[in-house]
Amino acid sequence: MDFQGKRVLITGGARGIGYSIAQRFNQLGAEETIITDIDEAGARKAAEKLSSSGNRAVAYKTDVSDEKQVKELFKRVSEGGKLDILVNNAGIIIDKLLIKLSENDWDRVLDINLKGTFLCMREAGRLMLKARYGRIVNISSMVALGGNPGQGNYCASKAGVIGLTKSAARELGIRGITVNTVAPGFIETEMTASLPSQNKEQYLANMSIKRAGKPEDVAYAVTFFAAEEASYMTGQVLVVDGGYFM
Ligand code: NAP
């Protein structure tokens, strides 16, 4: 895989899976890796780390759930040239059983995970349509496919990402733009660090490959969809979960 000459934008790229994705694109020669995150200092640190050892990387602060900020981000991006690849990775969890879930818990998770993905796809889609080229990779989750107790808001948001992916794939394919989803399983990041140990044990017990996933496992799948070699794949969901759901 070779991303020379490509400009890539990753949301929520300051740490965890997003940073690993940014790192892999950078290592594979991407001309510019744009890291956006709500955590400005984290994004800047991540971009500095990548630029010091590889190609150009820049950081922008963006809350993906805020339409104004997303529009400003893509305006700045378009001023710098074309955008070849968008990875919608920013996401949060607010885990509670259905009967305890507040409206705010629902809205916050849907706003970041689903609306944020839509807003970035819409802005990137406009740029990519003009260029008649683009790769969009969205990050969903294995729980979007099977559900999970205590994650009704999260599962709904991530299932929505899959529906949005498929619709966009149908709309944009005619102009050479592919849209795909990667659905990770249990991956060791700050997001999962606070999970109770019985949840982790339950995940491991049901996996075919008996280890938690690493952010790099997800990054490999994302770069696969973004590569030239995957130009005939669109609207797909690639599950990276160690064989949890089959
Ligand atoms: P993480 O370690 O919590 O990193 C997420 C990053 O997104 C953080 O830097 C976070 O910033 C940022 N972010 C949060 N809200 C944002 C917003 N409104 N706008 C822009 N950036 C925002 O999470 P992760 O484990 O790497 O997860 C990355 C993606 O993979 C998420 O979409 C997640 O749902 C998905 N996923 C993860 C797993 C897993 O097991 N880890 C499994 C399946 C799917 P702050 O730190 O400031 O909040």
Which among 9, 23, 37 is the best mutation to test ligand 1's pocket, defined by most ligand atoms within 8 Å of the CB?
Answer: 37
CA of 37 to the centre of ligand 1 (A): 9
**Contact 178/87 with Cβ under 8 angstroms?**
no
Q: Domain spanning 7-237: which superfamily?
A: NAD(P)-binding Rossmann-like Domain (3.40.50.720)
The answer to whether 154 is a known catalytic residue is yes
How far apart CA 181 and CA 136 sit, in angstroms, is 8
What length does the chain have? 246
Per-residue pLDDT tens digits for 86-96: 999 999 999 99
Q: Is the CB of 35 under 6 A from ligand 1?
A: no
3-state secondary structure of 82: coil
Sequence ranges of the domains in the chain = 7-237
Cβ neighbours, 10 Å, residue 32: 21
Look up residue 86 and give its amino acid: L
* Rounded Cα–Cα distance for residues 89 and 122 (Å): 15
Q: How far is CA 90 from the centre of its chain?
A: 6
Cα–Cα distance measured from residue 245 to residue 240, given in angstroms and rounded to the nearest whole number: 9
Q: pTM (2 decimals)?
A: 0.98
Calculate how far, in angstroms, residue 92's C-alpha sits from the geometric centre of ligand 1: 5
Across the range 126-133, mean pLDDT stands at: 98
Residues 185-210: what's their mean pLDDT?
A: 92
Closest among 68, 86, 165, 162 to 128, alpha carbons compared: 86
Query: Of all atoms in ligand 1, which is nearest to the CA of residue 191?
Result: 3
Residue 168, pLDDT > 90, answer: yes
Per-residue pLDDT at 220:
98
Q: pLDDT > 90: what percent of the chain?
A: 94
CA within 13 Å, CB half, 7: 16
Cα–Cα dist 148/154, whole Å? 9
What are the φ/ψ torsions at residue 216 (nearest 5 degrees)?
-65, -30
Q: Provide the pLDDT for residue 195.
A: 87
Rounded mean pLDDT, 86-111? 98
Give per-residue pLDDT as tens, 222-231: 999 999 999 9
Question: Does the pLDDT at position 53 exceed 90?
Answer: no
**Percent of the chain surpassing pLDDT 70:** 100
Say which residues have a Cβ less than 8 Å from residue 205's Cβ, sequence separation at least 6: none
Mean pLDDT of the 173-197 span: 95
Q: Is 17 touching ligand 1 by the criterion CB < 6 Å?
A: yes
- CA distances in angstroms from 155 to 118, 234, 235, listed in the order given: 16, 22, 19
Asked if residues 76 and 124 have their Cβ atoms less than 8 Å apart, the reply is no
